[in-house]
Chain A
């Protein structure tokens, strides 16, 4: 492995459209961790909405174009456990019937990482000189937690942020009720789930809510805001990259 590996940053469609600074935070942290970061200009969406809706054919098409786009790099890094899980776990599944594509899918899958897991496990990197005097609580988003085993990595990185205290969150591993299209297909059920989650976040006493997936964060932040809770939400990589003093999710930039 080269000393300065080439990393393709796949920002995800949601970060691209809704919160670009997560992409810039990932970019900044990856560069600080000694990587040569490339943002493939052809990137759009990994295809997860099609996959989870049952539209296998379109999921396969989007998987193939995404694989072709991401093949030439040492690593593919993504600021989302859910999208990284799609590439790592589900691309090989949906391309299993085509040996040539399966091999390509597996090769890309093996080099694909969620950004915080990559910084921690692959680069052994820690934020240096980053300070934020605040208390935060962390929600473990489901795909990252259960498909990729992301639990300790973000906490190790956050522990290196000076002045930041992490408060425990009751039910931190319980789904927030986002579930992609689930939240708009079954809004009432989703609302009941996120309502409990927002109450637990509020009860944690933390000033900030952190997580590793923008979809879940938008769901929880939107509920907290509707409830009138003062808790502000960030993607954890924003704090890790020293961008925790910028406006939180939903605060107008």
Chain B
């Protein structure tokens, strides 16, 4: 049994995990459906969103240069990072140069992708996660299990117990508002007292040099405006040409993620504090991270760069709904994670992800930017096959079966024999246990076959004359 299967089995045994995932993903599914139904021609809006991203990805260099020029003109400093390590080194160096003791971080999956929490800890810089769910994750010393709701795997009852154990002044009454208040007491001081605020970006706007974040808690604003320095880490695919494009993508993002028309807070940060501004950081740094993205564009995964990290694919995935996010083993879970993780962590360590998918196509159906996720997952399966990563039994099985399937007479003989053998082990039509098919019969019965194959019966009928 490999690492993925072990993690999946552990997840399947965790009944609370199932409860937690169903509560959040189930609600998201219902709300998204309502939001899409209320939208005037969502299908056309998806086409437009996909076209915007494809255009940007095809002209990435142009828009990144434009973004750099405009962000610089607004007073921000743009840094370029080819790898995760390079990005972390830049951020840590900026923090150290500022003499920062503590940073307030607003949730960013890119930050998780590049291992920023770990890099900050290694540099001895205290990190306060200010997103409520990231705060829960930090208290529990875990990793996010979903890209929108990092603490999706925890029930509110588990969170309540965690807050009681770890907060200075925890809630008394067991209600969500009381728990939120407890987190607010814990976090507000840390946000206001941080030396540096670090965020990701939902969008980078090329023609203004601005950075957009969306949150429902306002934690980004509180983490990024009061500190002296604001550092943004963003993947280079986050770029959009202009504000109208950003707004279109925003409409797709919020509806696809939570079913909301808009998040509570949508903020565009364009440069540091200007003369006459009442607040804002003294310095703004934007670290643009490649970390495999230009390679993706060259290696047949350009469509994946459309992804706006809404999480709809995982919310609607039958596999994710059963095993949750941690079982995937990478930064990004679900269908989009199954496509991205081999890029980030290598295919050898993650080949199961593309296979642990029924190819039912639901993820593609709900993707706001029409990423052909099943096709991309098939691509990883093909590469895994080519590179010899698939198990020997599967390779041999497919090989023998395909050889026989190309020889109809032999195939007729083999299928006729298999049918007889299956009938031999069937009991009143059903097979409850079958050697080599334990994967099936451990959990369900196998209906036994008829007395003869279709082709045998059809040939017999033809000999008698008439087709029936």
Contact = CB atoms under 8 A, between A and B. Distances in A.
B8 A186 contact: yes
Contact of A189 (B12, B419, B445): B12
Given A53-B381, A58-B402, A226-B443, A185 B355 contact: yes
> Could you say which of B322, B390, B395, B442 has the most chain A C-beta atoms within 10 Å of its C-beta?
B322
A178 interface: yes
A20 B359 contact: no
B439 A21 contact: no
Contact of A53 (B358, B394, B415): B394
Given A175-B318, A175-B358, A223 B444 contact: yes
A17 B418 contact: yes
B378 interface: yes
A24 B384 CA distance: 39
B84 to A, nearest CB: 28
A226 B445 contact: yes
A134 to B, nearest CB: 19
Contacts of A211: none
B454 interface: yes
B398 interface: yes
A51, A65, A177: most-surrounded residue (chain B CB, <10 A)? A177
Interface in A174-188: 174-175, 177-188
Pick the most buried of A53, A65, A175, A183: most chain B CB atoms within 10 A of its CB.
A53
Contact of A15 (B386, B401, B418, B454): B454
Contacts of A20: 450, 452-454, 457-458
Interface stretch (A40-48, A70-78, A106-114, A155-163): A40-48
Interface in B423-441: 426, 428-430, 432, 437-440
Most buried by B among A62, A192, A194: A192
Given A53-B398, A182-B358, A226 B444 contact: yes
B55 interface: no
B391 to A, nearest CB: 9
A226 B394 CA distance: 27
A200 interface: no
A178 B447 contact: no
B443 A187 contact: yes
A185 to B, nearest CB: 6
Chain A binding surface, main DSSP class? helix
Contacts of B318: 174-175, 177, 193
Contacts of A31: 467
Interface string A15-40: 11111110110011001000001010
B61 interface: no
Contact of A188 (B8, B390, B447): B8
Interface in B367-404: 375, 378, 380-386, 390, 394-395, 398-399, 401-402, 404
Interface residues of A, number: 75
B382 A19 contact: no
Contacts of B452: 20
Contacts of B69: none
Given A37-B467, A55-B398, A55-B402, A18 B449 contact: yes
B439 A184 contact: yes
A190 interface: yes
Interface in B251-300: none
Contact of B385 (A13, A53, A187, A225): A53
Contacts of B457: 20, 24
Contact of B447 (A44, A179, A218): A218
B444 A222 contact: yes
A184 B453 contact: no
A187 B446 contact: no
B405 A62 contact: yes
A230 interface: no
A222 B453 contact: no
A110 to B, nearest CB: 20
A240 B452 CA distance: 23
Contacts of B395: 55
Contacts of A13: 405, 415
A146 to B, nearest CB: 4
Given A20-B457, A179-B357, A187 B405 contact: no
A229 B9 CA distance: 26
A56 to B, nearest CB: 5
B398 A44 contact: no
10 nearest A-B pairs in the assembled complex, by CB-CB distance: A179-B358, A54-B381, A54-B385, A222-B444, A252-B429, A250-B447, A20-B454, A142-B360, A191-B443, A175-B360
Interface of A: 11, 13, 15-21, 23-24, 27-28, 31, 37, 39, 41-45, 47, 49-56, 58, 61-62, 65, 93, 142-143, 145-147, 173-175, 177-195, 218-219, 221-223, 225-226, 247, 249-253
Given A182-B356, A218-B447, A226-B432, 9 more contacts: A18-B450, A24-B454, A142-B361, A143-B359, A188-B443, A193-B358, A247-B429, A250-B448, A253-B429
